[in-house]
Chain A
Amino acid sequence: MSFAHLISVIGDNAIAGVLGIPLISILVLAFLPSYRAAAALNIAASFGSLIAALALFGADPFANDLFLIDSFNIYMIALNCFVAFTTSVFSASYIEHELETGRLTPPLMRFYHAMYQAMIGAMNLAFVSNDVGLMWVGVEIATLVTVMMVGLYRTPAAIEAAWKYFILGSVGIALAFFGTILVYLAAQGTLGEGLPALAWTRLQAAAGHFDPSLLSLAFVFFLVGYGTKVGIAPLHAWLPDAHAEGPTPISAVLSGLLLNVAMYALLRFKMILSANTEALHPGPIMITMGLASLFFAAFMLYKQQDIKRFFAYSSIEHMGIITFAFGMGGPLANLAGLMQMTMHSLTKSGIFFTVGHIAQAKNSQRFDDLRGLSVSHPHLAWGLAMGVIAICGLPPFGVFTSEFYVLSSAFDKAPFLTLLLALGLLIAFGAMLMRLQDVLFGTPSAVNHRDTASHIPLFVHFSLVLLAGVYLPKPLLHWFQQTAALLP
């Protein structure tokens, strides 16, 4: 058996890996009494999923009525599993501290670890599914699991956040389901009854024959439904609370991964829509919502007193930029959108790791209590500075490259909108700089615990973003171009 053949055999079974490993570990973690062993197993299982995800690169592209592997989702799964793995490493050191301070108890820990794997598995399911309904199931499970995670601390604020997230999230998911039914009705006449009429690949191939008005209506339901999960304005209301009140590893996964899953669902639908020439053009709607999110979030950044809420608004801002880029469409804007998605995932989860350590060291999430970090915790100060500089889109970090692509690709098509985009970015930049200065300098605030947690995950993330900004490897660039060409 040749090496190439071996790779492709492993790759073909990798779907079972990215779904099966989380599933098995949920069952084990739910009954494992020792939290240390559970944290270790959580890391091991996440690493296993990452390996399976990387093995997918060796797989031949294929699609049946339920599952799909193409260059777009392979990459999304790899990104998903990578961030899930580094977050599990961060989570191990984070929860140790939470147990010491008594915010979490060992039984809750068991629940937490099982739910963590459930979340990863559900997101992978949403990525690999070729069935619109199955993808909906994945997003729904991921939503329900994160609701429980957000309410984990059981403080009044956490319950309020979880309740709000739950109500808005489930209404969104219900509307998305109605959209799924409409897609099925639109496709049924051409593709026949049953599973084929809900397969993304078949839908895309046959979209030209669908009833355009039904397809357009379905898109509206999809946009409102999954748009709620993406967190684009004005559907974002759950996002800041959910990020601020849950455990920090969950904030990192929410921002870095779950928003991407919903965006992926929207993009798949946009591919169908653009294959039908008479249907609604989603571009202008997405551009408007993207710009609205950017401006809204940029101004809201100035008002935030809580560091996790602050970065949650920054996520809304970036999802706005990404929506704008994909709304523009075309090879370069799509490439910019994909890069921005990747860079945002890596940077934002890295920032949340840093913020988690800071909040534990200072025992507070309020900016007022977080002063003088450069004196009291120099490592964390460096981490935060790197993260904020990266997320602002300053060179030499990767976010600069992707935002530059977004701006330059948009400038060709709509110079005026590009100016608006640049203005929004500048407003957000001002808020970021102001807050960074507050936190880094000044006299250190009273509470200063020693920070013993591992800093490796956050510096790994920032180094990758830096590397991407300085030198983007050829195969990766090739992938970005190839996938951007797939998108409309």
Chain B
Amino acid sequence: MTNLTFDISHFLAGGMLVLSFVILYQDRLSSLLNTFAMQATVLAAAVAWQAQVQHAPHLYVTAVIALVFKAAIIPAALRRIMVKLGIHREIEPVVGVGVTLLAGVGLAALSILLLYPVTADAQAFTREDLAFALAVVLLGLLTMITRHNAISQIIGFMSLENGLVLAATGANGMPLVVEISVAFSILIAFLIFGIFVFRMRERFDTVDIHALDRFRKGRA
């Protein structure tokens, strides 16, 4: 493996991690969505590069799914939903940007500290990709925790899935069964999410998760 191959895959995985950080502090739904679409595009590039390097043509399928489905169709559909619900201009206050970002840095450091010692036998290539991927997964989780809006949580979840796909393709020769299932699960997950968003709007007149909390308190 030449240095260049290594550098490019490193660059793409690192790019996804940077975009995960950008996702963390977006306060406008539309820019949040754009950032997610960008991350999905970088994911597609990273997966395509892996397909090239590993001589694994089936990974191109995963790359195309990422590009078409996650970078184009899902953001377009979500944007439609936001326009329909009249929340596309809404500004969502992100609580404690500084603290959130610090926590993000901590999580990224944690994933490197966690995975480096245990993957000593794996190729350097796999190792670093995996550490980046775990960081993307954890940052996706953090996004889901810090947001109060159903759509932001959806985006956090999908960003988490981006990290999973990156990890799965980084592992040499992981069976195709799994990749396809990941792609499908996103499809299904999105459908469900869509249904819930609509129903929530119908019932609570908002997609703010706090409405659910208020409802809980009323019941208790």
Please indicate whether A and B come from the same complex rather than being unrelated chains.
yes
Taking Cβ atoms with an 8 Å cutoff, the residues of A that contact B are 131, 133-134, 136-137, 140-141, 144, 147-148, 151, 154, 156-157, 159-160, 162-163, 166-167, 170-171, 174-175, 177-178, 180-181, 184-185, 188-189, 193-195, 197-198, 211, 213-214, 216-217
Q: Is B114 within 8 A of A170, CB to CB? A: no
Contact yes or no, A188 B178, CB < 8 A: no
Residues in chain B near residue A185, CB distance under 8 A: 119, 122, 126, 130, 171
Most buried by A among B178, B182, B219: B178
Query: Are the C-beta atoms of A131 and B175 separated by less than 8 Å?
Result: yes
Closest 7 CB pairs of A and B: A193-B173, A133-B178, A213-B118, A137-B181, A160-B212, A214-B118, A181-B167
Q: In the complex, A171→B163 CA distance in Å?
A: 13
**Residues in chain B near residue A137, CB distance under 8 A:** 177-178, 181, 185
A-B CB contact pairs (8 Å), 25 listed: A136-B178, A137-B185, A140-B181, A144-B188, A147-B192, A157-B215, A157-B219, A163-B196, A166-B196, A167-B157, A170-B189, A171-B141, A174-B137, A181-B164, A181-B171, A185-B119, A185-B122, A185-B126, A193-B173, A194-B173, A195-B175, A198-B175, A213-B117, A213-B118, A217-B115
Closest-CB distance, A242 to chain B (whole angstroms): 14
Q: Does B91 contact A (CB under 8 A)?
A: no
Cβ of B168 within 8 Å of any chain A Cβ, yes or no, is yes
Residues of A within 8 A of B84 (CB): none
Interface residues of chain B: helix, strand, loop or mixed (majority)? helix
From A141, A157, A174, A184, contact of B174 by CB (8 A): A184
> Which of B2-10, B18-26, B28-36, B197-205 interfaces with chain A?
B197-205
CA distance A195 to B173 in the complex (A): 9
- Is the C-beta of B52 less than 8 angstroms from some C-beta in chain A? no
> A148 and B192 in contact (CB under 8 A), knowing A174-B160, A214-B118, A217-B118?
yes
Q: Are A170 and B126 in contact (CB under 8 A)?
A: no
List residues of B whose CB falls within 8 A of some A CB: 114-115, 117-122, 126, 130, 134, 137, 141, 144, 150, 153, 157, 160-161, 164, 167-168, 171-175, 177-178, 181-182, 185, 188-189, 192-193, 195-196, 199-200, 203-204, 209, 212, 215-216, 219
Least distance between B16 CB and chain A CB atoms (Å): 15
Cβ contact of A134, chosen from B126, B177, B185, B200, cutoff 8 A? B177
- In this complex, what residue of B is CB-closest to A134? B177
On chain A, the residues within 8 Å of B144 by CB distance are: 167, 171
Please, which residue of chain A has its CB at the minimum distance from the CB of B215?
A156
Q: Name the A residues within 8 Å of B117 (CB-CB).
A: 213
Contact A188 to B172, CB < 8 A, known contacts A160-B216, A217-B118: yes
With A140-B185, A174-B161 in contact, is A131–B177 under 8 Å at CB? Answer: yes
Known: A162-B196, A178-B134. A156 touches B164 (CB 8 A): no
Contacts of B164 in A (CB 8 A): 174, 177-178, 181
CA distance A157 to B199 in the complex (A): 12
Which B residues are CB-close (under 8 A) to A188? 171-173
- Give the residues in chain B near A166, CB-CB below 8 Å: 192-193, 196
Report A365 CB to chain B, min CB distance, Å: 12
Shortest distance between the CB of A249 and any CB in chain B (Å):
20
Q: Is the CB of B119 within 8 A of A167?
A: no
Chain A residue at minimal CB-CB distance from B185? A140
| Residue pair B182, A177 in contact (C-beta under 8 Å) | yes
- Residues of chain A within 8 A (CB-CB) of B189 are 144, 170
State in angstroms the CA–CA spacing of A137 and B179 once bound together.
Answer: 11
Kindly report which residue of chain B lies nearest to residue A171, judged by CB atoms. Answer: B141
A175 vs B117: C-alpha distance in the bound complex, in angstroms?
Answer: 20
Complex: chain B residue closest to A177, CB-CB = B164
Contact flag A184-B137 (CB < 8 Å), given A148-B192, A162-B196, A174-B161 = no
With CB as the reference atom, state the residue of chain B lying closest to A138: B181
Tell me whether B137 and A189 are in contact (CB under 8 A). no
Bound complex: CA A183 to CA B182 (Å) = 17
Residues of A within 8 A of B153 (CB): 167
Contacts of A160 in B (CB 8 A): 212, 215-216
Interface core residue of A181, A188, A197 (most chain B CB under 10 Å): A181
Distance A174 CA – B168 CA, assembled complex (angstroms): 12
Q: How far is the CB of B165 from chain A (nearest CB, A)?
A: 10
Cβ-neighbour of A217 out of B114, B174, B178, B185 (below 8 A): B114
Q: Which residues of A contact B192 (CB under 8 A)?
A: 144, 147-148, 166
Find chain B residues with CB under 8 A from A177 CB.
164, 168, 182
B172, B181, B193, B219: the one contacting A133 at CB < 8 Å is B181
Q: How far is the CA of A134 from the CA of B175 in the complex (A)?
A: 10
Closest chain A residue to B164 by CB distance?
A177
Cβ of A460 to closest chain B Cβ, rounded Å: 34
Chain B residues with Cβ below 8 Å from A197 are 173
A211 and B121 within 8 A (CB): yes
With a CB–CB cut-off of 8 A, which chain A residues contact B134?
178
Expressed in whole angstroms, the minimum distance between the Cβ of B46 and any Cβ of chain A is: 15
What is the CB-to-nearest-CB distance from B126 to chain A, in angstroms, rounded to a whole number?
Answer: 7
A320→B13 CA distance, assembly (Å): 40
**CA A188 – CA B172 in complex, angstroms?**
8
* Minimum Cβ distance to chain B for residue A283 (Å): 21
Tell me the minimal C-beta distance from B112 to chain A in angstroms: 13
A144-B188, A163-B212, A178-B137 are contacts. A133–B175 as well, Cβ < 8 Å?
yes
Residues of B within 8 A of A216 (CB): 118
* Chain B residues closer than 8 Å to A133, beta-carbon distance: 175, 177-178, 181
Beta-carbon contact of B175 and A156 below 8 Å: no
When C-beta atoms are compared, the residue in chain B nearest to A155 turns out to be B203
Q: Give the complex CA separation of A193 and B150 in angstroms.
A: 39
CB distance A214 to B199 under 8 Å? no
Nearest neighbor of B119 in chain A, beta-carbon distance? A214
Check if A159 sits within 8 Å of B200, measured CB to CB: yes
> CA of A134 to CA of B185 in the docked complex: distance in angstroms?
13
How many angstroms between the C-alpha atoms of A147 and B199 in the bound complex?
A: 14
